[in-house]
A and B are shown apart, each in its own frame.
Chain A
Amino acid sequence: MKKTYGLIAAFDSTPALYHACEQVRDAGFKQWDALTPFPVHGLDAAMGIKRSKVPRISICGGIAGFTTGMTFIWWANSFEYPLVVGGKPYFSPMFAFPVSYELTILFTAFATIIGMFVVNGLPMHYHPVQKAPQFVRALDDRFFIVIEANDPKFNATETRALLARIGGQDIAELEE
């Protein structure tokens, strides 16, 4: 027998989804999600999602980039082969700044994108919700709420009733 992944319910408009999310949040669910074709303004608060952790990874990338630039230029022009140009000092943070600045941005960009993928658990080319026939509209014009079966508050009949009460349509069970 196939295991149940959870329940999916569809919503036709952004306000309907927004208010439904508030109610799922207030019902105390933790393992659940909303699928939307575009980022809905303020939905994070309605779902009770905390601020993203991506910036912490970005700042590490930025610091690493700046340090790499400064260290490498010091090493190349002042340590590995001290280079005399116009009687200027072997190393100064002034002339090393532009390259370090660019590397700060470059490393921040990579850290941000890799961080976003890691935090999101992507790439994930297979996911139970993608098997549902209604999913084709999730990235088009419809909104969905998915409540997972492994949420401690999940109960097949009660959760289905909750989704129906908050306005969910075409409620269906998802297979693992």
Chain B
Amino acid sequence: MEALAIYQRLTEQFGGRVLETVTQKLDSFCVIDPAAIVEVGRFMHDDPALAMDCLSNQSGVDYKDRIEVVCHLFSYQHRHGAVLKIKLPRDNPRVPTLEGVWKSANWMEREIFDLLGVTFEGHSDMRRILLPEDWEGYPLRKDFVEAAEYHGISTVRESPIIRLDPKHK
């Protein structure tokens, strides 16, 4: 099935909870109401015409005024894919977890939580995955400023070349 036909089918099934379908030259996508994402995911997984058995990629993007969680779904059976997006406020973004539908969401959601600060409600193990547990802030947010030091280890280093060159004072 073509991606647009998939979004059409979703709109028929879920009506207003599919907020919009964006058609563009490269990957088109549709935006889902955050509250309905698990239901939509479950439907796409179980529906024989869609059979999205694989959550191939899940990532987050900070757009300065909102955070988007992007899910790339794929069906090995039908060899078609779809892109779902969820738009969340930057201030305390929360969304239900997809772990119950696709197990691969477990680690990918932890990564989004770790780097972008999106909390996935109902997740079985919502802790940081790549960064240390006492790390402050979410590095992939556009306004992230790295602290000058971490446990007494400096995160900045003066360049010895610049220091030696008299042109750089």
Decide whether A and B assemble into one complex. no
